[in-house]
């Protein structure tokens, strides 16, 4: 597994604010990835917990912002999108509870990296034409 880099062509959902939030999420996930690769002492473990907390706060804000924007524009598939967000939060919650040891921390980071890319490229991309129309 290597760090993911943001690429406009591949990852832009057609809205600057959402793109900025996705980049910030990626930045935090990449930081968590780096921390999980150097988990050798309690100091690093503290860093990992700190970044995970910051990430999950940011995730909450992003998902709420995205859902409210989609609601404002009357996005037809909003219910399914909200379900996908909730499933993600539930999965993170259960992985975080389990992630007491190093191996499980890595599982959580890999899950977050896969989720970031897959969710944006499949679910978030579905709303692209609708949010793009907003800025034009």
Binding footprint of Fe ion on the chain (CB under 5 A): 66, 124
Query: Could you tell me the smallest distance in angstroms from the CB atom of residue 103 to Fe ion?
Result: 28
- Smaller CB separation from Fe ion, 47 or 58: 58
Helices assigned H by DSSP within the chain: 8-11, 16-37, 42-72, 78-98, 102-118, 125-135
Query: Could you tell me the smallest distance in angstroms from the CB atom of residue 83 to Fe ion?
Result: 11
Query: Could you tell me the smallest distance in angstroms from the CB atom of residue 49 to Fe ion?
Result: 24
Query: Could you tell me the smallest distance in angstroms from the CB atom of residue 21 to Fe ion?
Result: 7
Query: Could you tell me the smallest distance in angstroms from the CB atom of residue 106 to Fe ion?
Result: 24
- Smaller CB separation from Fe ion, 11 or 105: 11
- Smaller CB separation from Fe ion, 108 or 124: 124
Dist. CA 70–CA 127, nearest whole Å: 8
- Smaller CB separation from Fe ion, 38 or 133: 133
CB atoms within 10 A of CB 18: 20
Tell me the three state secondary structure of residue 41: coil
Dist. CA 51–CA 124, nearest whole Å: 24
The sign of the dihedral angle between the CA atoms of 48, 54, 60, 65 is: negative
- Smaller CB separation from Fe ion, 78 or 104: 78
Q: How many residues does the chain have?
A: 136
């Amino acid at each position: 597994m290597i760090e993911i880099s943001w690429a406009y062509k591949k990852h832009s959902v057609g809205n600057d604010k959402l793109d900025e939030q996705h980049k910030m999420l990626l930045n935090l996930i990449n930081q968590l990835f780096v921390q999980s690769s150097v988990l050798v002492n309690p100091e690093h473990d503290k860093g990992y917990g700190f970044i995970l907390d910051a990430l999950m706060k940011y995730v909450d804000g992003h998902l709420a912002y995205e859902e409210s924007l989609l609601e404002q524009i009357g996005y037809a598939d909003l219910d399914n999108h909200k379900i996908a967000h909730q499933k993600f939060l539930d999965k993170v919650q259960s992985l975080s509870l389990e992630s007491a040891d190093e191996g499980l921390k890595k599982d959580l980071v890999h899950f977050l990296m896969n989720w970031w890319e897959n969710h944006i490229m499949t679910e978030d991309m579905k709303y692209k034409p609708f949010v793009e129309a907003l800025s034009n």
